[in-house]
Homo-oligomer: A and B are copies of this chain.
């Protein structure tokens, strides 16, 4: 196989390292049939850090995500207003931990979690459980946006379930809507 030009080699080098970041200069030198020094010059020109730094940055990413997924677990929005068995409002700021790692779009289950836990909270009972729900994600929510969820307790169904309607907004623009059918241990009285 003929030895490529500098530009071609550098293009491939970049790709190779992106694809298999755990590769040493020595191995790269063998692959491209050039000396280690050439690989190092290439890395410099392309501003690609050395192996250990590459590994470290991959690891750090993972570490942050791990720590995050643990910490975030319980907190699904902050309740700012609550009238038991009537209505409730909670806010949630969309941070890095809520979005897809590549795109900046919030993952659906976080919006659901906020709405669902608000539906649970608004019910005046030791324990409320979601039996059924019907939801719609109206528009994408981006990192940095503040989602305001509003829950309204509607009526009871014939089967004793309480219906809670939750609508979520970003700057008065609706982003989510859901109807939650909730079990409760005690009866709703009015």
Which residues of A are at the interface with B, using a C-beta cutoff of 8 A?
Answer: 21-22, 52, 55-56, 58-63, 65-66, 68-74, 76, 97-98, 100-103, 105, 107-109, 112-113, 116-117, 120, 126-127, 129-137, 140
Contacts and interface: CB of A to CB of B under 8 A. Distances in A.
Given A62-B58, A62-B62, A132-B137, A71 B101 contact: yes
B117 A130 contact: no
A74 B101 contact: yes
Contacts of A108: 116, 120, 129-130, 133
Contact of A130 (B76, B97, B137): B137
Given A55-B56, A59-B59, A107-B74, A134 B134 contact: yes
16 contacts: A22-B56, A52-B52, A52-B55, A55-B55, A55-B56, A58-B59, A58-B63, A59-B62, A61-B62, A62-B73, A68-B73, A73-B101, A76-B109, A107-B117, A132-B136, A134-B135
A80 to B, nearest CB: 19
Nearest to A108: B130
Given A102-B127, A113-B113, 7 more contacts: A52-B52, A55-B55, A61-B62, A74-B101, A76-B109, A109-B109, A130-B137
